[in-house]
Structure 1
C-alpha cells in the first residue's frame, strides 16, 4: 500500500496547503511531530495543530495490512523539553504564590488544591476562572472557563466582584494599554467575564461522571476554554459511596479523563479537594480526602493551610517545581498577596 499523502488527508484546503508549503507532504513526515513544532512551522494556533495531529494519528493507526497499530505518534525527550517553552500559565493574582508556581497554574497539567474549610479554595477557583480571561495584550490567555460545582458554593455575586477588581487591576498595571482598553470596553466588563464562565451544578456522583465524560465534546464546541475547575471532586464520592474499591476505580477513570483533557486541549485542570482525618503513628491527623491512591492522580498538589492568622499555600507535589510555601490573603477583590491593603474577609 502506497504512503498516504497530505493532499489526501481529511483536512481543510488551507491546512493542506500550509502543510505542503512547509515541506510536509506525506503521513510519515507528520507522524512524530509535536504540536509546538507544527505551531512554529505553520504559524497556526496550538489548538489547530492538535486537531491536525489528531487526523494524522487516526490515519496512521491503519497499517499496511489493514490492521490497527498498537502505538502511534512517538515523541522524543528533546521534543518534550522544547514543549515546555510553549506551556502557558494562569496567574493567581498573588505574586508570592505565582513565584513559587513558576508563573501561575500550568496549562496541560492537572493541579489539585486542598485545604480546610474557610481557607479560600473556592475563592482561588473563582479567581482562576476570571484570570484565564485576561486578554493576551494584558499578559493573559484570553480564554474561557468551565466551573463544575458539586457543593453549591459558587456565588455569582462573588464572581462579579472578583471580575470587577481584575479589570481595575489591568487598567492600573497596564496604563500603556489605555487606548486598547477603550477600544474593547464592551468586552472588559464584569458581565462579559461572567458570560465566559460555563457553570455546571452537579448533585450526584453519577452526574459528575457523566459530565466529565462529556467535557471533551463540550470543549470542542467552545474552543476558547483554557481551564476546567472541579469544586470539589470529593463531595459526592465521600457522601454517596460505601464500596471503597468501586469508588477507587471510578475515581481512577475520572482522573485519567481529566489528564487527557489537559493534554489534548492544552488547558489547565484544577481540582479542589477537602480534608479528612487520618490515623497515623498513633494519632489523628488531617489529610486530603480520597486516600493515597487519589494522590497520584494529579500532576501538581497545593495544600492551603493556616499559620496563625495568615493563609499559606504549600507545593506538596510537582515534577517540575520545588516544594515551597507562600503567604496569600482573601479579600473582597479575591485572592491577593499577604501584604495587600484590601480588607480581608473569611470566606468559604
Structure 2
C-alpha cells in the first residue's frame, strides 16, 4: 500500500472518529453539518428519532426526503445493535441499571433503590413540600452513584447553587467538588425547553450526562397554554417533550427526574382522601403514562415534613414514607 493511500485511509478513519455521523451510510461532511444544524450530533440522536420529525427539521435540502430519513434511521439503529431481546437478556439489563439515592432510605425503599436509570421519575406536590429539595439532594449524590455529570433545567428561575453547596457541605462533601459536575440551564418557555432537549444530544454525549432533572417540567406549558381551547396543542407538545426524555433515558442510560405542580380541586375533598385525587398532578394522562414512577409529596402540619407516596409505578406497589427537609436536603423523618 502506498503512503498516500495509507494517509487517506487514516484521515478517513480519523474523520469518522471525530464525527460519528460520518459512519452512517451516505452522510457526507456537508450533510453532517446540516444534521448538526438541526440538532443531531450523535448516532443515538438519529436512531431514536421519528422519520417525519427528522424530515421536518432537515427539509428537502441536499435532496433529502422522507424515504431517505427512514433509511438513515434504519442505518443508525443497525450501528447501535438495536434488536429484540429475550426475557433473560432484558432481566440482566434491568439488573445492571443503577440508582441515585434520594437522601431518604424510606423513599429509596419504595422506589426500589432510588431514582433509576433508563426511567422517568415524576415528583409532584404543592409548593414547599420538598420537590426542589429532592432535585438538589439527588444532584449532589448522583455523580458518585452513576459515575457521570448532572444536568438541571430550571423553568421557574428558582434554582439555588448556594443551597446545593449547603447540602453538600452538610453531607461532609467538598462544596466546590460537589457542584463541579452539575450543569444548570434556565429555560423560560416551553419552546425553549423543547429546543434545549432537541439539541441536547451533543452536550449529553460530550459531558457524560447520566442524570437529567427538570424543575418544573409542566410549568411552562401550564403558563403558556391556558384554557380548555388550548388544551389539545398543550398536550401534544407535552407528549412530544416526554418522548424526548424517554429517548434520552434509554439511549444514554440516564436517570430522569421531573417535578410537577398540582391542581386545586376544592370539591374533591368531600369524595376522597387520596392526595392525587384531592389535588391531582397537572398534565393529565400524558404525564401519567409517560412516567415510570410517580411520587406524590403531601405536606403535613409539621414544618418541613411531608408524606411521600408512590401513587403509580409500572412495577412497584403503592407505598408511603415520611420525609423531612433539613440542611442535608431530603432525609427520613424520625
Instruction: Please report the TM-score for the alignment, with normalisation by the length of structure 2.
Output: 0.71
Write the distance in 2 (CA, Å) between the matches of 1:257 and 1:141.
Answer: 21
> Are 1:86 and 2:96 an aligned pair?
yes
Superposed, which structure 2 residues align to 1:77-156 within 5 Å? Answer: 77-134=87-144, 140-156=145-161
User: Hey, which bits of structure 1, 4+ residues long, moved more than 6 A?
Assistant: 281-284
Distance 1:275 1:11, change over 3 A: farther
> Are 1:295 and 2:288 an aligned pair?
yes
Write the distance in 2 (CA, Å) between the matches of 1:232 and 1:275.
Answer: 11
Write the distance in 2 (CA, Å) between the matches of 1:98 and 1:306.
Answer: 19
Write the distance in 2 (CA, Å) between the matches of 1:321 and 1:72.
Answer: 27
Equivalent residue number for residue 193 of structure 2: 208
Superposed, which structure 2 residues align to 1:1-80 within 5 Å? Answer: 61=74, 73-80=83-90
Equivalent residue number for residue 57 of structure 2: none
Deviation string for 1:96-120 (max 9, x for gaps)?
Answer: 1111212111111000000010101
Write the distance in 1 (CA, Å) between the matches of 2:153 and 2:128.
Answer: 19
Structure 1: 5+ residue runs without aligned partners?
A: 1-9, 16-49, 63-67, 135-139, 169-187, 340-348
Distance 1:126 1:281, change over 3 A: closer
Equivalent residue number for residue 314 of structure 2: 319
> Are 1:250 and 2:237 an aligned pair?
yes
Distance 1:282 1:333, change over 3 A: closer
Equivalent residue number for residue 335 of structure 1: 330
From 243, 246, 251, the equivalent of 1:264 is 251
Structure 2: 5+ residue runs without aligned partners?
A: 1-11, 18-42, 48-70, 272-276
Query: Displacement, 1:285?
Result: 3.2
Query: Displacement, 1:11?
Result: 8.6
Aligned residues of 2:118 and 2:249 also touching (Cα < 8 A): yes
Aligned residues of 2:143 and 2:149 also touching (Cα < 8 A): yes
Aligned residues of 1:61 and 1:72 also touching (Cα < 8 A): no
Deviation string for 1:222-259 (max 9, x for gaps)?
Answer: 12x21100000122111111421111111111111101
Aligned residues of 2:137 and 2:328 also touching (Cα < 8 A): no
Matched pairs, number: 256
Distance 1:256 1:11, change over 3 A: farther
Aligned residues of 2:122 and 2:293 also touching (Cα < 8 A): yes
Query: Displacement, 1:269?
Result: 0.5
Write the distance in 2 (CA, Å) between the matches of 1:141 and 1:84.
Answer: 15
Query: Displacement, 1:93?
Result: 1.2
Instruction: Please report the TM-score for the alignment, with normalisation by the length of structure 1.
Output: 0.68
Equivalent residue number for residue 261 of structure 2: 274
Distance 1:109 1:11, change over 3 A: farther
Write the distance in 2 (CA, Å) between the matches of 1:290 and 1:59.
Answer: 33
Aligned residues of 1:162 and 1:334 also touching (Cα < 8 A): yes
Equivalent residue number for residue 274 of structure 2: none
Distance 1:101 1:116, change over 3 A: same
Query: Displacement, 1:143?
Result: 2.2
> Are 1:236 and 2:220 an aligned pair?
yes
